[in-house]
Amino acid sequence: MNRQISRVALFALILLAALIVATTYWQTWASGGLAVRQDNEIQRVAQFEIKRGLIYASDGRTVLAANVRRKKGGQTLYFRTYPTHGFASQVIGYSTQSRSRAGLERQENSYLTASDKNVNTILNTLGDRLRGATITGNNLVLTLNVKAQKIAESLLAGKCGAAVALNPKTGAVLAMASAPTYDPNLIEKPKGYARIQATQAPCSPAAPLLNRATQGLYPPGSTFKTLTAAAALDDGVFTQARISTIPATARSTARRSRTRSIREAAPRHSETSACSMPLCTRSTPSTA
Amino acid sequence: MLVLVETNDMGSGLLYFGIFLAMLYIATARVSFVAAGLGLFVAGGFVAEREIGHIHERVTIWLQPWTTQKFFCASTGEYTLRQDCQSYQIVKSLYSIANGGWLGTGFGKGTFTDTRGHNLIPYVNTDFIYSALAQELGLIGSSALLLVFMLFVARGMKIAIQVDDGFSKLLAAGLTFAFALQTFIIVGGVLRLIPLTGITLPFVSYGGSSVVANFLVLAGLLLVSHRANSYA
């Protein structure tokens, strides 16, 4: 009888070993594919179990994005709140359940949720995991200057447009405003998103969610002349004093309308005339 | 058996049939009985799959839990993807297991509810306890649990071999095999190794009667073991 028992024992052990093999399959090979499936809510919920890093203005004190803790069904979840209500909204963006993420909340998501590949982050997160503590993301300090941003936003109030102030030495963005703006706290509120969409502004569509400073499409106009002028002066071919008459240089490629030629007006006689080279200033009038 | 068929309790049916075959083989040493039993099982399973709607659905879910085409969902009365209706349980369970990865999320750190606090996996305390466990303990933890189960089975079978009288041998081997088969049926179902049938995972699932029954199994094994040692 012992031979049969041994055989049945072997069979039973094989059955259980098969379970280990199957578990290995689902937790290693198949794991990545399942995590990204549309109907898998675990990742979507798990992102709210992480205490996202805070977002500060350049002074390191003004909190632009904070967390509120809520207990739901035995687990603690962290949701975003924006204490400054519509300050640099398009830059900071939002992190919500209903409409995912936008702006810096989206761009810096891995940093804010401590899932980036930085060694410090990995060590901190591992420490949190081992201690069983809530995973806490990295804080983000922006270059945005509260004062400059406030001025830019107040100047744009009631208008449609954007304003940006940069530190030319470092490229740091000191202010980036886009109008009309919105309160990111509204997005998770019932009908809040509709209210944002219904924002009244002198342009149509008002599109308050659009960051006009980075996403708005505007013709560059004469601003690009700075570059050509700088290059010309750099070459030494042109001097500040030299006046050149530029003939018609561009032809519209639009087929439906008649071909138009664009004539560049060179400043000739008057100090007040448009200056085609931005580097020349009005205080140095040309040889009239 | 008829009671089990009538109450749609296929898991228990499979369990008793498996134990019966194993005991028959141990007692008679005839492979032909096992072969005949398995043949009957295959034939019965084939007919059941074709004739009994409940079984057919289980097999369909097992083979294709995810669809890109919409099917009629009896519980909501709408046309939905299969993963949103019939195979909802197994799919959510697999997501939970997959989320565990190598090390798991840690004890009490698993995600089992959505952001409004509703359960993601139904029956997570009983039938689907393994998917919760696999998420929180990861591959290392769940493999450790299964290895402990394997150890239990190995010890149980060793008791059966050591003891002298036939009744004790059959009792020990039968109880141990029942334990192993029950584990395989529920965990295999949760892991999509076999079609899913709801029974409890020994010593892990929540539920008084299941725990009491499993401790009775353990007590039986210890008694036999005691007897084996006292003869020696």
pLDDT tens sequence across A78-111: 999 999 988 999 999 999 988 889 999 999 999 9
Quick one: pLDDT at residue A24?
94
Structural domains of chain A, count: 2
Quick one: pLDDT at residue A249?
62
Residue A189 lies in a domain: no
Quick one: pLDDT at residue A253?
55
Is residue B44 pLDDT above 50, yes or no? yes
Rounded to two decimals, the ipTM of the complex is: 0.91
Where among A91, A121, A141 does a domain terminate? Answer: A141
Which of the four pLDDT bands, split at 50, 70 and 90, describes residue B161? very high
pLDDT digits (tens, 9 = 90+) for B71-106: 888 888 888 888 888 888 899 999 999 998 888 887
Residue A277 lies in a domain: yes
Quick one: pLDDT at residue A125?
85
Q: Write out the residue range of the structural domain in which residue A271 sits.
A: 219-251+259-288
Mean pLDDT of B16-40: 92
Quick one: pLDDT at residue A251?
61
Mean pLDDT of B47-65: 87
Quick one: pLDDT at residue B232?
52
pLDDT digits (tens, 9 = 90+) for B107-121: 877 888 877 778 888
Which residues of chain A make contact with B161, given a CB cutoff of 8 A?
Answer: 2, 5-6
- Which CATH number does the domain housing residue A51 bear? 3.90.1310.10
Quick one: pLDDT at residue A267?
37
| H or E segment to which residue B79 belongs | strand B78-81
Residue A129 lies in a domain: yes
Structural domains of chain B, count: 1
Residue A130 lies in a domain: yes
Mean pLDDT of B215-222: 92
Residue B190 lies in a domain: yes
B80: helix, coil or strand? strand
Residue B60 lies in a domain: no
Where among A86, A116, A141 does a domain terminate? Answer: A141
Residue B116 lies in a domain: yes
Nearest CA in chain A to B101: A27
Query: Within a 10 A sphere around the Cβ of B1, how many other Cβ atoms?
Result: 10
Question: Helix B129-162 and helix A2-24: axis angle, to 10°?
Answer: 160
Cα dist from B23 to A215, B160, B211, B230, whole Å:
74, 12, 23, 25
DSSP state, B197? -
Residue B31 lies in a domain: no
Residue A279 lies in a domain: yes
Cα dist from A104 to A54, A112, A140, whole Å:
11, 10, 10
Which residues of chain B make contact with A27, given a CB cutoff of 8 A?
Answer: 97-98, 100-102, 134, 138-139, 142
* pLDDT beneath 50: ranges in chain A: 256-288
Q: If 0-12 CB within 10 Å is exposed, 13-18 middle and 19+ buried, where does residue B89 land? A: buried
Residue B135 lies in a domain: yes
- A198 near B CB under 8 A: no
Where among A88, A120, A141 does a domain terminate? Answer: A141
Residue B95 lies in a domain: yes
Nearest CA in chain B to A10: B154
pLDDT digits (tens, 9 = 90+) for B162-197: 998 889 999 999 999 999 999 999 999 999 999 988
pTM of the model: 0.72
Quick one: pLDDT at residue A273?
35
Residue B114 lies in a domain: yes
Bond prior to A202 in cis (omega within 30° of 0): no
Task: Give A13 to chain B, closest Cα distance, Å.
Answer: 6
Quick one: pLDDT at residue A285?
33
Residue A272 lies in a domain: yes
- Rounded distance between C-alpha atoms, residue A108 and residue B54, angstroms: 49
Cα dist from B196 to A217, B20, B77, B176, whole Å:
56, 21, 23, 22
Q: What is the mean pLDDT of chain A?
A: 82
Q: Write out the residue range of the structural domain in which residue B166 sits.
A: 87-232
Quick one: pLDDT at residue A45?
84
Quick one: pLDDT at residue B137?
92
